[in-house]
Structure 1
Amino acid sequence: MVFHRWLDRWDEHRAQRGEAAKKATDFILDAGRAFPGAEEINSLEQFCVRAERAVSDPGFYDEPAGSARGFDLHNGWLKFPSEIATDVDENNTVWAKLTESCSRDQVLVIFHHWNASARNRQIASFFSRRGITVVEIAMPYHFERSRPGALYADDMLSSNLGRTIQSIRQAVLDGRKLIRWLKSEGYDEISVLGMSLGSWVAGLIAAHEPAVSKASLFLTAGSLADMVWTGRATRSIRDSLEPAIRLTDLRRAWAPLNLENFAHDLARPDLALQAVFATRDKVVLPELTKHFIEKLHQAGAVPEVLKLNCGHYSLGAPPYILLGGCSLKRFLSRAKAPNGIIRSAIGQSKI
């Protein structure tokens, strides 16, 4: 179809923007960043064993005690200290934009995509007018948290295995800290929305934070290792990884970042799940998303699934953004049952 060929070309053109800034870098274990106190790990096998152990460690994504302190809200901007201190000072303060509604019944926390250049003002405005407060958090090394002089957020996702784990873990801990603050401020129903890389963060938060009752994951999959290895936007990272590590070992090394390893946590009965994916996606391949959804089903989850016949970037253009937005609105508008349990029905839409 002519339209879809044009759509594929548009997605490829969009993927090329900013690609010149992405360079191959050194492969580094950096175990001390990923697992505090594990500086003695100096082999890939040791790293993988420690990473696999972290999957079953209930404290790996838990907040430290007393972490609810340090919040400062002024003129719609919220800032607070991150739960992890890094060597980039700017990254150690978390910034979030609040777009308040007339009610404190419901709040949506948005986790943006990798290398996002702007927050989602239109989404925030749309939902705030409909009674849902929107909080747009800056993930590590993005927006106000960027490393000075950085051309893109290479510290959040890279061939440095340990820093990538630290960055995703930092994003999860920061998100959980924000969510607990929102709960203390009187918000009743807390939902999370993750886009692309942000969907991994939102998914991990939903798996570990009982205060989250709805999670919408756009352009998502389970294995971050597979996404990086096969994705159009992460070729430079694969070029850096491939001489030093096989995909099978990368899966082990990044096991704590694989949402499929937490499928049973995502299947808890009081969590509603939505997955939106693009069937022409070259960044997060549809096969990876389908595999993740199968794992969710096997764990007993009943996610609402929307598939759109577009690409990764063209999902942000009409008519696909309208279809995705309407689906998200319906998902967030679904009321809790009297016992507090929310179950989503399987739904599919195809253009």
Structure 2
Amino acid sequence: MYHSWLDRWDERRARRGEEGKERTAVVLDAERAFPGAKKITSLEEFCVLADHAVADPAFFDEPSGSDQGFQRQDGWLKFSSGISTDIEENDVVWAKITESGSFDQALVIFHHWNARSRNRQIASFFSRNGITVVEIAMPYHFERSRPGSLHADYMLSANLGRTIQSVRQAVLDGRKVIRWLKGEGYRDISVLGMSLGSWVAGSIAALDPAVSKVSLFLTAGSLADMVWTGRATRAIRDSLEAEIDLTGLRRAWGPLNLENYAHRLARPDLDLHVVIAKRDKVVLPELSERFIQRLKDVGARPNILELNCGHYSLAMPPYILLAGLSLKRFLSCTDKARRT
């Protein structure tokens, strides 16, 4: 009875999130996705560029000379993004810093798609436990929102190239913050990603050796599969499926598939924590399980918490409390304890 009510609650919450989501044209926009690419006209050409990006270890590396221009004031960090777009507001990155009074550990948080606000409760909880929290605005979110938009439609959409550009921009921005934290003297850097934010956090952890711990809430490997099957992305699938099938989308968004970086997430000096919701209709549990199995196949030993709730109801007690306590234990583990 209770879980039937919970499922209905999640569905009502999903319907509220559909405001402003409409079908749009499929656009390749390879010039946005792949630095130096020329204008192309076919999906096959786009997929060839995507294949090259997956194989390119420098695809998520930042442009040289991008470490300048940090401004810190009244608990905020502001800097220019390493990628320039056609939305001026999006090219300035804002991050809220909640200090712990210690330089032992910092946690960088990447929120879910269309997040309306940062989470003061989470930041306060961890800062009281000795962890400085940095809540970064992903592209087209919070202070970076596109003027007039009802949701972050430029972050994830049927524009294949802009979606890759946006996730890549989020990764580069996050890596820039991590370098700044290291320069400030923080010893251990962890990243937390929630839903779409988990693709960003996972990519950063796979590519950046400065990250020692990564926690992925409501995650999977293939972003293409999540969009194709998820409750929150029906409008995007409706836009895509007249011109592209799931197999083609998987290849086109190959650079955004965490399964392609599983071997890097399995590096011995990185600890993994995964929280999945067994009643999730946005990131289907079978996609999460496939990703976890892929991690295990390449030698990773993720710390996994499964909760019997939905995507949105994870934010409700008791589930959010259980997830938060699990994350606290994970972040509090010492190097020695983690590896015995």
Superposition TM-score tier, normalisation by shorter sequence = over 0.9
Structure 2 CA distance, aligned partners of 1:161 and 1:143? Answer: 23
Q: Alpha-carbon deviation of 1:36?
A: 1.8
Structure 2 CA distance, aligned partners of 1:41 and 1:222? Answer: 27
Is 2:210 aligned against 1:182?
Answer: no
Q: Which residue of 2 aligns with 1:349?
A: none
Contact 1:216 1:275 in 2 (8 A): yes
C-alpha offsets along residues 57-77 of structure 1, whole Å, 9 cap, x if unaligned? 011001122221110000001
Q: Alpha-carbon deviation of 1:8?
A: 0.1
Supply the AA of the counterpart residue of 1:120: N
Structure 1 CA distance, aligned partners of 2:13 and 2:173? Answer: 30
SS in 2 for 1:37: coil
Contact 2:17 2:232 in 1 (8 A): no
Structure 2 CA distance, aligned partners of 1:325 and 1:40? Answer: 46
Contact 2:69 2:80 in 1 (8 A): yes
Structure 2 CA distance, aligned partners of 1:55 and 1:302? Answer: 24
Q: Which residue of 1 aligns with 2:273?
A: 274
Supply the AA of the counterpart residue of 1:14: R
Q: Which residue of 1 aligns with 2:298?
A: 299
Is 2:167 aligned against 1:156?
Answer: no
Contact 1:221 1:288 in 2 (8 A): yes
Q: Which residue of 1 aligns with 2:89?
A: 90
Q: Alpha-carbon deviation of 1:56?
A: 1.2
Q: Alpha-carbon deviation of 1:343?
A: 4.1
Match runs of 1:112-127 below 5 Å: 112-127=111-126
Q: Which residue of 2 aligns with 1:316?
A: 315
Is 2:22 aligned against 1:23?
Answer: yes
Supply the AA of the counterpart residue of 1:186: G
Structure 2 CA distance, aligned partners of 1:87 and 1:17? Answer: 29
TM-score, structure 2 length as denominator? 0.99
Is 2:94 aligned against 1:110?
Answer: no
TM-score, structure 1 length as denominator? 0.96
Number of aligned pairs? 340
Supply the AA of the counterpart residue of 2:200: V
Q: Which residue of 2 aligns with 1:244?
A: 243
Is 2:39 aligned against 1:40?
Answer: yes
Q: Which residue of 1 aligns with 2:171?
A: 172
Given the superposition, is the C-alpha separation of residues 11 and 184 from structure 1 closer, same or farther in structure 2, using an over 3 Å criterion?
same
Structure 2 CA distance, aligned partners of 1:19 and 1:149? Answer: 16
Q: Alpha-carbon deviation of 1:173?
A: 0.3
Structure 1 CA distance, aligned partners of 2:39 and 2:122? Answer: 46
Supply the AA of the counterpart residue of 1:197: L
Q: Which residue of 2 aligns with 1:216?
A: 215
Structure 2 CA distance, aligned partners of 1:39 and 1:287? Answer: 37
Given the superposition, is the C-alpha separation of residues 295 and 320 from structure 1 closer, same or farther in structure 2, using an over 3 Å criterion?
same
Structure 1 CA distance, aligned partners of 2:252 and 2:294? Answer: 20
SS in 1 for 2:324: helix
Structure 1 CA distance, aligned partners of 2:304 and 2:151? Answer: 31
Cα RMSD, aligned residues only: 1.0
For structure 1, the 5+ residue unaligned runs are 345-351
Supply the AA of the counterpart residue of 1:28: V
Supply the AA of the counterpart residue of 1:87: D
Moved more, 61-70 or 166-175: 61-70
